[in-house]
Structures are given as structure tokens and as C-alpha cells.
Chain A
Amino acid sequence: GNSVTQMEGPVTLSEEAFLTINCTYTATGYPSLFWYVQYPGEGLQLLLKATKADDKGSNKGFEATYRKETTSFHLEKGSVQVSDSAVYFCARANTGNQFYFGTGTSLTVIP
């Protein structure tokens, strides 16, 4: 089937720590992959995306690489900040632009 499996949270890190949030997908073909972020009280915002194998999406210090061989799209950031505290969603899109999301991972960064 088509699904997205995301590392469960919540995740609590100290400022400047390294962040990894795992995400794997199952899908027919080669879907586009995304990370969306939801800050408290706000709607989802696109963080980064990758549309084909080996693509690396990056934004605001976050990175994720589309790994076809492991069907993964793990999110990483070398040094998190308090302002990164939010819920992060991994998602894939089919050719009809329908999105399927992971369960979301809540990140809290403490000073």
C-alpha cells in the first residue's frame, strides 16, 4: 500500500543538539517526498521537498535526502534552536497531488 512511517515522539533536545527524525515510505513508483512543519497555533508550512532519488531538500538548516534504496527521507539538522520547537510531518504525494502524511513528531528544544 501507500503509507508513510515516521519516528514517534515526542522528542526533547537541548539547544544546539543534533536532530534526526526518521521517515520511511511505501509507494508504487517514485513519489515526491516532503517535510512539513506545524508551529503551535499555525497551519502546516512546507519545510523542504525532494522529487526524485538522491535529491536533497534543504531549508533553514534542515536537510533530507531521498533514498530510493532504503525508501527513506530522514530529516536532520546539525544544531537545533528553541525556535525549531514544532511538530514535523513527513509526507509523500502521488501524481494526483494527494498527500499522505506520517503521524507527526513533536520536537521541543530547551535552552
Chain B
Amino acid sequence: GAVVSQHPSWVICKSGTSVKIECRSLDFQATTMFWYRQFPKQSLMLMATSNEGSKATYEQGVEKDKFLINHASLTLSTLTVTSAHPEDSSFYICSASDPLGAKNIQYFGAGTRLSVL
């Protein structure tokens, strides 16, 4: 099946620095990717919809200046957590669907654990 790869799998950074997380569709092209955030023992919360070649669409309550999303190619979306603070520590997950594959199926990356010191 289709594979979505995330990098890095774990990152530790100092408060105030920015961190970039990559999401790649390895064997298909994805015009749309999605970014989620998962707090410990909680569900995934949709943060934003990443659209290739255009601006991302953010869910209510998500700061677009805080979480910068760039979807510059059909196989890559990046999420940059700017000026990270400890409260941004979380598990970030991306997903994508194969437009040529089964309808409604989302393929999820393994996630990126961000720890802000």
C-alpha cells in the first residue's frame, strides 16, 4: 500500500527555536496532506489541511503564524513550529491520500515527537 514518511521521528529543541517536520508521500502524489497533533493519551486533533501550491487551511484555534505549513511539491509538505515553547511539545502526525487509489483512505505517517525544553 501507499507509504507516508515523516522526518524526523523525534526532535528535542530549546525554547524559542524553530523546528521543521517533513511529510513525504513515497510512492504516490498527494495534492492534499493533513497535519494532526496528538497529546499523550488523547486523540488526534486536525490542525490544518495542506494544499499543494496554495495556502494551507487551518482549523479553528490553530495559530497559522505559529505552525507554518508549506506544500511546495506533490510529494512533500512541511510543518514548521516557530519559536517553539514547552507547551508545543506533542506528537505531530501527517496523512495523505492517494488520488489514484482507494477512495477515502488516508495513509498516516509514523509521527514526529517534539520535545521543547
Contacts and interface: CB of A to CB of B under 8 A. Distances in A.
Given A89-B43, A101-B43, A43 B108 contact: yes
A69 B73 CA distance: 43
A32 interface: yes
Interface string B34-50: 10100001111110010
Interface in A23-80: 32, 34, 36, 42-46, 49, 51
A6 B43 CA distance: 10
A6 B44 CA distance: 13
A51 B104 contact: yes
Interface string B44-85: 111001000000000000000000000000000000000000
B77 to A, nearest CB: 14
Q: Please tell me the size bucket of the interface on B.
A: 20 to 34
B7 to A, nearest CB: 13
B110 A99 contact: no
Given A43-B93, A44-B93, A46-B105, A99 B34 contact: yes
Which residue among A32, A98, A102 has the maximum number of chain B CB atoms within 10 Å of its CB?
A98
A37 B1 CA distance: 16
A93 B104 contact: yes
Counting from the closest, the 4 A-B pairs by CB-CB distance are A43-B110, A44-B108, A103-B43, A101-B43
